[in-house]
Structures are given as structure tokens and as C-alpha cells.
Structure 1
Amino acid sequence: MEIRRATGPAELVAASPLFDHPARPEWAEAFLRASGHHLFLAYEGELPIGFITGIEMLHPDKGVEMCLYELGVAEPYRRRGIARALIERLAALARERGCYDMWVGVDTDNEPALAAYRSTGGKDDGTFAMITWEFPR
């Protein structure tokens, strides 16, 4: 298994089965060009088997923190340490870029995700509610 930073939209389109929906080339391009946006892909040979995205968030009284935006591993490759390796890669980047912390929102009943995050040193801050607004496209 090898982890590589995504550099072009074609890589993300090829990795579409890992995402919730197919990657759209124009959105992939915009994501990769946006300052503070990061995406790493895990490969088995040339097959994308996992990904992690991070977004740097800047606040005037805190500085920069890394939001672990999304993590996914293809089902046949789960429980092999791939998620852990991806989390560690993003955490290393966050430290390199001077982030003061990294955080992720996760459903409290998602035991596999919780186990992966905890295995890399993540600590629970307690239960919280996520409020969302949906806007028509």
C-alpha cells in the first residue's frame, strides 16, 4: 500500500467508487487548487483503495487547525491499517503546516471510525450535535 497526494482531477474521478458520489472533474479541480485543501489517496498497485481529505481552517483568535473532512476505505481493504495510515499522513501534514490541532466530526455509533481515530491518538471531546443547512443546487 502506498499513500500519494492527489495532484489532478483525473485521479479523483478514477477514485470515485471511494466517494459518496462520483467525483466531478470541475469540482475535483477546484478542490485541489483551493488553498489549504488536501487529499491523499491510498493505492494497492495502481488501484485507489482509500482516501482522506483535510481542510485547513483559520480563525483570528486561534490560528490554523486541520479539519479531517472525510475518510474512506474500500470495503475489501478495511481492517488492514489503511485508515490509520491515512489519518497519520494527514496529521503529519497538519503538524508540518503549523496547525495547532486536527479534528473530525463522527457519528457516535460509527465504531469502526471511532476505533481508527482513537488508534492514532485522537481523543473524544464528548457528544455534540451537527446542524446542517441544505441548499438546492
Structure 2
Amino acid sequence: MRIDRATTVPEILAASPLFDAPARPEWAAAFLATPGHHLFLACEDADDPARPIGFISGVETLHPDKGREMFLYELAVAEGHRRRGTARALIRALADLARERGCYGMWVGVDQDNAPALAAYRSAGGVDEGACAVMVWSFVQPREP
């Protein structure tokens, strides 16, 4: 397995089957152009990066009294490739980048009943700090980048 940072729109579009919905080229381009936005792809065949089996995305956040931290935005591994260490390797790749970028930590929100995600995060060194509420605001249509 090989893990690389996505740097082109075609790479992100190739990962569309792993996303909640197909990636849009204009949003993929905006994502790549935005400082602090990161996406790694896992490929089972190191010689075929056009077929990702997993991805992880992260966004650096910066606050005046806390400094810089990494928000693990989304993680997915294709169904037939789960429980083989792909998620753990992707998490570690993002954590390594977070350290390189000077982040003091990394965090992710996960549903308490999502046992596979919790297991993956724990296997990569994540610590459960307890339940929290997630509040959302829905603005009907996603905004254009």
C-alpha cells in the first residue's frame, strides 16, 4: 500500500467513489488551492494511483490563544479493504503532517456508536475524551468555493 498527498484535481476525482457524493472539479481545485487543507490517498497498488482505496482529509485551524491544530475532517476506506491497517496508516500520515506543520494536536468528531471508526482512531493512538454534542447549521445549498 502507498499513501500520497493529493495534489491534483484528477487525483481527487479518482477518489469520488470513497466520498459521500461525487467530487466536483471546481470544489476540488478550491480545496487544493486553500492553505491548510490536506488530503491523502491510499492506493493498494503503489504503481496505480488512479485507484485509491482510502482517503483522509484534514484542515488546519488556528486560534489566537490555542495556536494551530489539525481537524481530521473525513476518513474513508473502501469496503473490501477495511480492517487491513489502511485507516491507521492514513491517520498516521495526517498526524505526521500535523506535527511537521507545527500543530499542537489533532482531533476528530465521531459518533459514539460508530465502532469501526472508534477502533481505527484508537489503533492510531487516538484517545476518547468522552461524549460531546454536535450542533449543525444547514444552509440548504452548499456554497460555491
Regarding TM over 0.5, the answer is: yes
Deviations 1:54-92 (A, max 9, x none): 000000000000000000000000000000000000000
The letter of the residue matching 1:14 is A
Deviation at 1:34, TM superposition (A): 0.4
Q: Structure 1 residue aligned with 2:124, among 120, 125, 134?
A: 120
3-state secondary structure, aligned to 1:132: coil
Q: 2: distance between equivalents of 1:102 and 1:94?
A: 7
List aligned pairs for 1:5-16, cutoff 5 A: 5-16=5-16
Gaps of 5+ in 2: none
2 CA distance for matches of 1:68 and 1:52?
A: 8
TM-align CA RMSD: 0.6
SS in 2 for 1:35: coil
Task: State the partner residue of 1:51.
Answer: 55
- Aligned AA for 2:67? G
- What 5-or-longer segments of structure 1 have no aligned partner? none
Using structure 1 for the length normalisation, give the TM-score. Answer: 0.98
How many residues were matched structurally? Answer: 137
TM, length-normalised to structure 2: 0.93
Q: Secondary structure at the match of 2:83?
A: coil
Q: Hey, which bits of structure 1, 4+ residues long, moved more than 6 A?
A: none
Q: Distance in 1 between matches of 2:131 and 2:104?
A: 22
Q: Does the residue aligned with 1:134 lie in a helix, a strand or coil?
A: coil
Could you give the per-residue CA deviations for residues 84-126 of structure 1, whole angstroms, max 9, x where no partner exists? 0000000000011110010000000000100110111111111
